[in-house]
């Protein structure tokens, strides 16, 4: 049987994008050949004029881009035009956290381009956008976003599959932030300053490009919105429910994430107090999200758990997700690394493979 050929356009070569490139360039499949035909960064891009795969390997791609990329990025519309000119089916892999790309997904999809992405913005903003992306139009491209919740852990596709087979979600709760998990796990057990752990989480690639997206609870709110929508709740946006922020008041207005990181040490003492108050009662701090489908209730925030609670004993950047459904009255528990380059990129690549199987 001849190999199926699929064109892949990749936007973003940061923490997740770099690992994704290494992984896709190492795929050796007996039924599909991925042609990486475009790589876009913020201020530069590289495209294959004849739609053959760019001459890059898992080892040399970064230096090849540095020496051969053209200045300026492409707009979403220009990328759609480029992909449409070839009759080979195409997948957009958006490895950014950019809203402009996220809002352009309906254009890609209606032009037959499929999407695999860890970017949560399209799935957690306007409900209209969500409905457009999952309209079920057979002429549209497919949309997969496993890595938007729990990084590579099988949460999103698992939920969609059990619902498709007739199950009904009753309750989902858990720890959905890899960076906050890492920060609070380390903070509870080690004698280290809060600002130092946040810097370490950023260095390890666990945080969002601006760590305030994590500390403010917004990243968890986005994930909870996505899960609630999959479970059938019509959540209009992340402003539909209260979010308990962990960003010290004054620091939320600071324009850049670099300045925020410089100022954070000034607040180490006030955060230490919270930790000590919890420790005096034999408890630890954890940032949790919860969706009660029957009660139509969603919440996100810091809670205190006793040292014996399963949420208290998580390690590293682990997420834990508990899913109670009509069929699984004893909840399904999914646990493991919920952030980091390799696990997230693997989640995106597994979506690319799933799309290729269906094209």
Ligand X SMILES: NC(=O)C1=CN([C@@H]2O[C@H](COP(=O)(O)OP(=O)(O)OC[C@H]3O[C@@H](n4cnc5c(N)ncnc54)[C@H](OP(=O)(O)O)[C@@H]3O)[C@@H](O)[C@H]2O)C=CC1
Ligand Y SMILES: N[C@@H](CC=O)C(=O)O
The contact set with ligand X (CB under 6 A) reads 11-17, 40-43, 73, 95-98, 100, 118-120, 147, 151, 178, 205-206, 208-209, 339-340, 344
Residue 42 binding: pick among Na ion, ligand X, ligand Y, none (C-beta 5-8 Å cut-off by kind): ligand X
Q: Which two tokens stand for residue 193?
A: 């300053």
Applying CB under 5 A, among 150, 205, 289, 338 the residue interacting with Na ion is: 150
Residue of 223, 275, 297, 326 with catalytic role: 223
Rg (CA), the chain: 21
Span between the terminal Cα atoms of the chain, in Å: 16
Question: Which of 104, 238, 177, 48 is CA-nearest to residue 185?
Answer: 177
CB of 339 to Na ion, least distance (A): 11
Residue 41: helix, strand or coil by DSSP? coil
Is-catalytic flag, 223?
Answer: yes
Q: Which two tokens stand for residue 97?
A: 């956290």
Instruction: Decide: is 146 part of the binding site for Na ion (CB under 5 A).
Output: yes
The DSSP secondary structure of 212-234, one letter per residue, reads: HHHHTSHHHHHHHHHHHHHTT--
| C-alpha span between 24 and 10 (Å, rounded) | 11
| C-alpha span between 223 and 231 (Å, rounded) | 12
Residue 76 binding: pick among ligand X, Na ion, ligand Y, none (C-beta 5-8 Å cut-off by kind): none
Interface with ligand Y by CB under 6 A: which residues?
151, 177-179, 206-208, 214, 219, 338-339
Residue 265 binding: pick among ligand Y, Na ion, ligand X, none (C-beta 5-8 Å cut-off by kind): none
Closer to ligand X by CB, 11 or 293: give it.
11
Residue 342: helix, strand or coil by DSSP? helix
Closer to ligand X by CB, 23 or 95: give it.
95
Q: Total residues contacting Na ion (rule CB under 5 A)?
A: 4
Closer to Na ion by CB, 56 or 153: give it.
153
Residue 15 binding: pick among Na ion, ligand X, ligand Y, none (C-beta 5-8 Å cut-off by kind): ligand X
The DSSP secondary-structure symbol of 141 reads P
Distance of CA 328 to the CA centre of its chain: 26
Closer to ligand X by CB, 109 or 155: give it.
155
Question: Which of 297, 284, 97, 293 is CA-nearest to residue 180?
Answer: 284
The residue ranges that bind Na ion (CB under 5 A) are 146, 150, 153, 155
Residues that are catalytic: 223
């Amino acid at each position: 049987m001849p190999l199926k050929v699929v064109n892949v356009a990749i936007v973003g070569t940061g923490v997740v994008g770099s690992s994704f490139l290494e992984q896709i360039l190492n795929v050796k499949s007996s039924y599909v050949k991925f042609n990486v035909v475009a790589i876009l960064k913020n201020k530069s891009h590289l495209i294959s004029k004849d739609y053959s795969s760019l001459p890059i390997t898992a080892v040399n791609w970064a230096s090849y881009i540095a020496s051969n990329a053209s200045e300026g990025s492409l707009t979403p519309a220009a990328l759609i035009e480029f992909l449409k000119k070839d009759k080979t089916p195409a997948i957009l892999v958006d490895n950014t956290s950019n809203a402009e790309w996220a809002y352009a997904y309906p254009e890609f999809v209606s032009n037959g381009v499929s999407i695999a992405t860890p970017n949560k913005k399209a799935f957690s903003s306007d409900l209209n956008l969500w409905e457009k992306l999952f309209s079920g139009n057979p002429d549209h491209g497919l949309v997969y976003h496993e890595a938007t919740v729990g990084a590579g852990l099988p949460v999103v596709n698992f939920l969609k599959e059990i619902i498709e087979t007739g199950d009904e979600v009753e309750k989902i709760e858990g720890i959905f932030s890899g960076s906050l998990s890492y920060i609070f796990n380390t903070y509870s057990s080690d004698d280290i300053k809060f600002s130092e752990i946040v810097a370490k989480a950023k260095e390890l690639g666990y945080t969002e490009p601006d760590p305030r997206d994590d500390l403010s609870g917004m990243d968890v709110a986005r994930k909870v919105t996505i899960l609630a929508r999959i479970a059938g709740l019509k959540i209009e946006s992340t402003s539909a429910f209260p979010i308990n922020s962990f960003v010290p008041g004054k620091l939320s207005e600071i324009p850049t994430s670099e300045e925020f990181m410089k100022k954070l040490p000034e607040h180490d003492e006030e955060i230490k107090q919270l930790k000590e108050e919890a420790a005096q009662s034999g408890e630890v701090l954890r940032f949790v999200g919860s969706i009660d489908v029957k009660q139509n209730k969603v919440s996100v925030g810091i809670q205190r758990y006793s040292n014996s609670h399963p949420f208290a004993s998580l390690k590293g950047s682990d997420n834990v997700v508990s899913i109670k459904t009509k069929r699984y009255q004893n909840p399904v528990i999914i646990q493991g690394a919920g952030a980091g380059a390799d696990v997230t990129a693997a989640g995106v690549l597994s979506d690319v493979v799933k799309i290729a199987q269906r094209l």
